[in-house]
Amino acid sequence: MLRRCLDLLAPSLAEPGATVVDCTLGLGGHSEALLSTFPAARLIALDRDREALRLAGERLAPYADRATLVHAVYDELPDVLARLGVPRVQGVLFDLGVSSMQLDEAERGFAYAQDAPLDMRMDQTRGRSAADVLNTYPPGELVRVLRSYGEEKQAKRIVEAVVREREKEPFSHSARLVELIRDALPQAVKRTGGNPAKRTFQALRIEVNGELDVLERAVPAAVDALAVGGRIAVLSYHSLEDRLVKRVLTAGADSTAPPGLPVVPEQYQPRLKLLTRGAELPTEDEIAENRRAAPARLRGAERIREAHTS
């Protein structure tokens, strides 16, 4: 859906001096496309993964004079812009979820298809790992994580098995967890919906990285950073992310006026105009080319007026 992201952002990035923020740099594919498509634009790119920053830096070396790469989580966007002396930007892009690099490097522990240490930290220099969560959280808290972040209906059954097993030996690797989940689930559940460990791994990853808490702060901050006429595009990969993005963008596009006013005063007018009807989905061709694109949901909005300050 890269082409569609570029099309959404294009009207605000054509002018010389336009600044676009890639909040999820990863390996730099989107950033490279932004820099090559909009030769007058400057890029600020954020990532919490130092290895991603290093590799993306090599990829973006030809554009070094127009690109600033920053080690930061995307909810730190206001601080990053303040440090760089950039009061407003013309475009913001989020490509949420796990980067291909993180999925493909077995030792990171994101993928349930191969045995690896249960780490799952996007920034491996800080925070607790997925193994820490599995081995130390009280059962009730583990059930909450699996239900809230994995939408796992069998959370209680899985957690009971985890608690039994961790008393014998702490969890350290993914294969043991995958096997435990397979054994814990009823046959009927295992027959549908792909790998039965998928939802548990998603839940652990979100918990380890505080993904939804970060996103809840980051999207409103990104909207606030947009100049009038600036645009935001967000690619989500599961319903929890998409619902959160939808809520923020829809709220910005609604009038905040009390009901019944014959004329809506300026301070109650919407700040945003939605650029997508609902969430746009990838085409069949895109999914055929990259199956990881299948769950993607794209939403976009344009800043149409400043926030009212009383």
Residues 202, 120 contacting (CB under 8 angstroms): no
Cα-based angle 54, 60, 61 (whole degrees, multiple of 5): 90
Amino acid occupying residue 178: V
Same domain, 180 and 263: no
Q: Is residue 309 part of a domain?
A: no
By residue range, what is the domain housing residue 13? 2-101+211-303
Asked whether 173 and 116 are in contact (CB, 8 A), the reply is yes
Q: How far is CA 298 from CA 170, 198, 282, in A?
A: 39, 22, 8
Pair 86, 166 in one domain? no
Encode pLDDT of 247-279 as tens digits. 999 999 998 777 877 887 877 789 999 999 999
Q: What letter does residue 268 receive in the DSSP assignment? A: G
φ/ψ (deg, to 5) at 18: -65, 140
Both 288 and 198 in a single domain? no
**Which is higher by pLDDT, 109 or 143?**
143
Q: Please say if the pLDDT value at position 197 is more than 80.
A: yes
Domain-embedded: residue 310:
no
Domain shared by 18 and 73, yes or no: yes
Residue 310: pLDDT band (50, 70, 90) is: very low
Of the candidates 259, 266, 261, 250, the residue with the CA atom closest to the CA atom of residue 306: 266
> CA neighbours within 13 Å on the CB side: how many for 229?
9
Q: What is the pTM of this model?
A: 0.87
Q: Residue 90 is inside which H or E element, if any? A: strand 89-95
Quick one: average pLDDT of 209-238?
A: 95
Q: Which residue bears the tokens 């919490």?
A: 48
Residues 228 and 260 in one domain: yes
142, 173: one domain: yes
Q: Cβ-count burial of 284 within 10 angstroms (0-12 exposed, 13-18 middle, 19+ buried)?
A: exposed
What number of other Cβ atoms are within 10 A of residue 123's Cβ? 16
Q: Distance between CA atoms of 232 and 8, rounded to whole angstroms? A: 8
* Residue 203's CATH number: 1.10.150.170
Query: What are the binding residues?
Result: 28-30, 47, 74, 95, 102
User: Same domain for 153 and 283?
Assistant: no
Annotated binding site for S-adenosyl-L-methionine: 28-30, 47, 74, 95, 102
- Domain identity same for 157 and 251: no
Residue 232 lies in a domain: yes
Do the beta carbons of residue 183 and residue 59 sit within 8 Å?
A: no
Structure-token pair, residue 98: 């796990």
User: What is the pLDDT at residue 82?
Assistant: 98
Is the separation of the CB atoms in 91 and 232 below 8 Å? yes
Distances (CA, A) of 296 to 75, 119, 204: 21, 24, 20
Q: What is the CATH number of the domain that holds 19?
A: 3.40.50.150
**Neighbouring-strand partners of residue 95:** 235
Answer yes or no: do 198 and 114 share one domain: yes
Mean confidence (pLDDT) of the chain:
90
Determine which helix (DSSP H) or strand (DSSP E) holds 136, and give its type and residue range.
helix 130-136
Number of domains in the chain: 2
Q: Is the pLDDT of residue 292 over 80?
A: no
Considering only CA atoms, which of 23, 1, 27 is closest in space to residue 89? Answer: 23
Burial of 59 (0-12, 13-18, 19+ CB in 10 A): middle
Chain segment 176-196, per-residue pLDDT in tens:
999 999 999 888 777 666 788
- The angle, 0 to 180 degrees and rounded to 10, between the axes of the packed helices 211-225 and 239-253 is 30
